[in-house]
Structure 1
Amino acid sequence: MIAVISDSHIPDRTDSIPEEFQLKMKDADKVVHCGDFESEKVYRRLSQNYGLIGVKGNCDYFDIESSQKFTWKQVDFGVYHGAGIHPRGHHPTLAKTARQLGVDVLLHGHTHQQEIAEHDGKILLNPGSCTGVGGGSSKTKDPSMMKIKVRDRKLEVEVVNKDRESGDIYTSSEKILNIDSISDKE
């Protein structure tokens, strides 16, 4: 399972990633952070604890790659924050980035809004903010992350949230995406 988080903004906007998300990250085979750690110390700690694949966000002022690629169970993933894309989260530009990286799936952040989308034969996944902090035009929300399972070039994507008021964990979205049928649409 791949655990995907983004836009933690620690320590400037909040103190920590919810403990429940950290437990899910410990259970993951891979952990991805789509940028805006805000602190190199947080990046290093996550890298040390989880063998992190992470990228630079617009609030990261330390040395880190702006994009990454990896293959998991015969599916090619790209990781890119999404800063500099106007309007924020613009699907055609994100799909173009996925093509430039040569990947099936682009994991991205920046908007602080969770999303499961397909565009021009590419899958675009945004886990939202793992701490629920606002950013840009996005207001404070429930913290969220994604869990992705890959089987036979099919993605099972689950968006996991923590209710800000009650502390309850809930799933807001689940979707199964077939890589081959989506990429055939190109």
Structure 2
Amino acid sequence: MSTRLLILADTHLPKHARDLPAEVWRHVETADVVIHAGDWVDERLLDELETRARSLVGVWGNNDHGALRDRLPEVASVEIEGIRLGVVHETGQAKGREERCSVQFPELDVLVFGHSHIPWDTTTATGLRLLNPGSPTDRRRQPFCTYLTATADSGRLGDVVLHRVTKATS
């Protein structure tokens, strides 16, 4: 049986939206693990995800301060269905990212990151999969707000889907 993942980053509540889009909350309810790669901004979202998610893995981002930094690590690492998965907010500029992350995180199979609000899905020469879900609330220069879902099963990450938010919240 596979483990369903919801992958988020850069929610920036309540700066860019008062709440997560309803479709994201529906995925929270069905996901086995919710992963958040930082820039929560408001501690209330962390509280609500801890209450509503079956399991939560999160880190703080550059816009997270105070209690969020007290409650969350800068880097998280977890094994899910045999996949060694890490979470960090920033990985630096896009140029050289694959090589830099391969050197910095040689023990991982998958690294989830945020910060840029730009969806990213590549695999490095060493086999490290890099995923950035974009942002479900702040598209910046992207055409859509986005988030990711995936499944983990027997050491394999599958069904990785980038979702466009169909209706943003205000």
TM over 0.5: yes
CA deviation vs aligned residue, 1:93-131 (integer Å, no higher than 9, x gap): 2333322xx211001111101111011321101111021
Look up the match of 2:59: 55
CA distance 1:74–1:89, change in 2 (3 Å): same
Question: Is residue 70 of structure 1 aligned with residue 78 of structure 2?
Answer: yes
Please tell me whether the aligned partners of residues 77 and 105 of structure 1 are also in contact (alpha carbons under 8 angstroms). Answer: yes
User: Where in structure 1 are there 5+ consecutive unaligned residues?
Assistant: 168-186
1:98 to 2:105 alignment: yes
What is the letter of the counterpart of residue 98 of structure 1?
F
Letter in 2 for 1:15: R
Letter in 2 for 1:127: P
- Residues 1-186 of structure 1: pairs in structure 2 closer than 5 A: 1-50=4-53, 51-62=55-66, 63=70, 64-82=72-90, 85-87=92-94, 90-99=97-106, 102-121=107-126, 122-134=128-140, 139=141, 141-156=143-158, 157-163=160-166
Q: Cα RMSD over matched residues?
A: 2.1
Rounded to whole Å, the distance in 1 between the matches of 2:147 and 2:9 is 8
Q: TM-score scaled by structure 2?
A: 0.84
Contact preservation (8 Å) 1:143, 1:164: no
Count of residues paired in the alignment: 159
Greater Cα offset, 124-133 or 42-51: 42-51
The two structures have a TM-score, normalised by structure 1, of 0.77
Matched residue type, 1:53: V
Asked if structure 2 preserves the Cα contact closer than 8 Å seen for 1:75 and 1:153, the reply is: yes
Amino-acid identity (%): 25
Q: Structure 2 CA distance, aligned partners of 1:89 and 1:45? A: 36
Residue by residue over 1:12-38, the C-alpha shift from the partner in whole angstroms, topping out at 9 and shown as x without a partner, is 222111101110121011001000001
Look up the equivalent residue of 2:57 and give its one-letter code: I
For 1:173, the equivalent position in structure 2 comes to none
**Relative contact order (C-alpha < 8 Å, sep 6+): which is higher?**
2
